[in-house]
A and B are shown apart, each in its own frame.
Chain A
């Protein structure tokens, strides 16, 4: 398996994901199936899958306290400790996790190796490299905002928060796209950012040799899915318009568990919905579970207080040890010779000697 195969495999898989609803709705008119059954099945898989997965993780205990200590420990009042990167209490851990989850603090540390061979020895540098961090942050936050924005389709009346996010997202007023003329809406910043960052995340997988080498189909597949999701969304909003009232009717129905499929929604919508369904159904079985996993990571979510508070290993069991008595029995003669104190004393040697 190399990167070409991986990319081909993943693109075919995503192509299939796009074709299925295209044919299913466009040709076979299976609107009920693609409009209601698939989304519900996908949502059920998503929620149940995640819950099962998290429970499964949580069932395995954390036998040892193994935080990665990334700063000065807490020791003396006159030594400045780092309460976030080497937290001794819950407050520090919470701060550490907030930085980790919301700002990707660990990834922010990233550097890039620059290795040059020269006559007088190698030149090794650890260069500034924040692009992965930037792209990851932009990607995840855009995704979140787009997700929140979509609640205007699910809820009537549209919650104020959703409207606020929406208007903020549109504040650049990037104007009307000339392509589809009449009344094309203002461009969302996050639409552009999402597509850009996903594209970057894909390109770096091919461009950076090490990342290319480690990438699996399971890395390209979700990227392509999300790209397809974004592109169908963008197409629908800016180019191939669909009947938005009908879409909202369907969405509100789904959301209120009273689904019905209105007439006249374009195929592009069903493709968008199916791609999303596949993405969320795939979610619990994939690396995308890092969303939940990051909260459980024992190198990040534990306080570094194992010398202050005893951490209990729930499956601890007694082990065989080499006791002092066994040790002394073997070396007693030598120990007495050099004047080391012994438990059983010289007389016991005489006894042993007699027995022999």
Chain B
């Protein structure tokens, strides 16, 4: 974090926009620490995205195709005809400002163009100029402006300063959703090859290897094997996951972040332990190296790319002949599964309506997509007393729960994870009501913004969340933030270390793994992280 200023300095934020200089007269600045590197030619070319080339956002010349304005205009027209949301959201905003101070990026940066309303106006102004009578006649007086290169750069900059978290849409009296505007705005600039490296490289990876990190099948197995060894060391039990196994009842898909980096890896161990525990009770589940990604960076590129990457889930379920799909803990993955997947790639008529093989519970809320969230699955198990749990093994933790933006406002899964956490932990504390559940704050790094080069942006965006964590950290001594999102697990530790040191991040199923009393296990002295359990500190020394 060497290149980001000290928190005290970053936190000195002025939220008052300039008095007399209007936003149309304030050109965009492509700032180091805020912008992500441009997409590389090879990433875009691999998936056949248009206008692939190497380019550098910091340079003056973005190497745009000659007819770029025409491409954008046509793309815009096309999307207005395809998305009622876009057309409506271009027309009906009254600029009441209710959304203005709801965005984590505005709160953390004070940059007025990060007010959702203004981020949308960047697009609306061009819409008015090109598609409305008033805009054509009255120009700037009607809030209209030409699509110039500066405007395009402004789009690029601010559509990659939005994490599509939808917090603004909650407060908008007309439900105008900046996520929708960002998604479609990004589609437009992607017509010109203007993606970021941090999004386009995972997309290309995912297309080829099945996951964002580009983990090839043998490496995937190696990584899981490593967790198997770890689990054996901690519990004395060797779990036996299976991969690409035809005829299994359930296919399990989770974000590749869970197999790749701490602390997601501990969550992954939690899944493995839970499945092993249940295998003795009749669970028949397989992992896949082909559908080895729950997340979908295509969703941060275009609807089409999202569909192309998402297709693997049903395709693999069909090939393996499973009955239904279980999904791991991930935010935008679940927005896509919940609100898009069936429409994208359904109907999955080769699958069956999901039924828990352990409890017999029918997951009626997933009867069409045939995909169940793992905290739904586990909550049901706990409700039916299937799991032997020892919450005292999480005694050293004082836990709060961070509702991930996508699972909150694109799904509404609030109680299931809380129920699971409360069953496996004794010390649970909620953050203030304005910062959780449907009003939750994004981690600040979602929608493909968790790159190293935009660390300042991420720390700023993470401030409102971290600030709420700080509140419970100081008041209750909270030292662990639980979440159900792989990007949270990748991004929040950095944000918390920066703003509220001493608080770590965990997936819900890491906590489950800690508390789960497996048949035949040895007495545990550490948690899944190798930290001594409460009361076991001495034994660890021996």
The residues of A with any CB-CB pair to B shorter than 8 Å are 1-5, 9, 53, 56-66, 68-76, 78-80, 82, 85-86, 88, 100, 104, 106-107, 109-113, 115, 117, 119, 121-122, 124, 126, 132, 136, 208-219, 285-287, 289-290, 293-294, 296-300, 304, 306-313, 315-316, 319-324, 327-328, 330-331, 334-335, 337-341
Contacts and interface: CB of A to CB of B under 8 A. Distances in A.
B335 to A, nearest CB: 9
Interface stretch (B155-163, B409-417, B507-515): B409-417
Contact of A313 (B15, B19, B343): B343
A213 B18 contact: yes
A294 B92 contact: yes
A82 to B, nearest CB: 7
A68 B383 contact: no
Contacts of B364: 308
A319 B307 contact: yes
A60 B170 contact: no
Given A66-B177, A107-B171, A117 B342 contact: no
Interface string B489-521: 000000000010000000000000000000000
B90 to A, nearest CB: 10
A335 B218 contact: yes
A304 B347 CA distance: 18
Interface string B331-361: 0000001111011101100000000000001
A117 B140 CA distance: 36
A132 B176 CA distance: 17
A69 B335 CA distance: 11
A69 B217 CA distance: 37
Interface in B202-232: 207-210, 216-218, 221-222
Contacts of A66: 85, 177, 180, 339, 410
- For the complex of A and B, list the 8 residue pairs with the smallest distance between their C-beta atoms, beginning with the closest: A293-B92, A69-B412, A113-B101, A299-B175, A73-B412, A213-B17, A211-B97, A300-B175
A130 to B, nearest CB: 11
B415 A79 contact: yes
Given A80-B415, A290-B174, A307 B11 contact: no
A319 B217 contact: no
B22 A319 contact: no
A54 B469 CA distance: 45
B173 A340 contact: no
Contacts of A119: 8
Given A117-B11, A307-B371, A321-B312, A64 B340 contact: yes
B130 to A, nearest CB: 15
Given A107-B96, A210-B112, A300-B175, 4 more contacts: A56-B87, A132-B98, A208-B97, A338-B221
Contacts, number: 333
Q: Majority SS of interface residues in chain A?
A: loop
Given A297-B88, A308-B365, A60 B416 contact: no
B339 A126 contact: no
Given A121-B7, A210-B97, A307-B368, A299 B85 contact: yes
Contacts of A289: 91-92
Nearest to A70: B438
B315 A321 contact: yes
B308 interface: yes
Contacts of A213: 17-18, 22-23, 112, 118
A189 B382 CA distance: 58
B321 to A, nearest CB: 12
B522 to A, nearest CB: 28
Contacts of B141: 1, 9, 217
B343 A63 contact: yes
A46 to B, nearest CB: 16
Given A106-B175, A304-B412, A338-B222, A68 B308 contact: no
B304 A319 contact: yes
B467 interface: yes
A217 B142 contact: yes
A65 B368 contact: no
Contacts of A74: 365
Interface string B83-105: 11111100111111110111000
A65 B343 CA distance: 9
A266 B485 CA distance: 68
Interface in B113-164: 115, 117-118, 121, 132-134, 140-143
A210 B100 contact: yes
Contacts of B463: 122, 124
Interface in B12-38: 12-13, 15-25
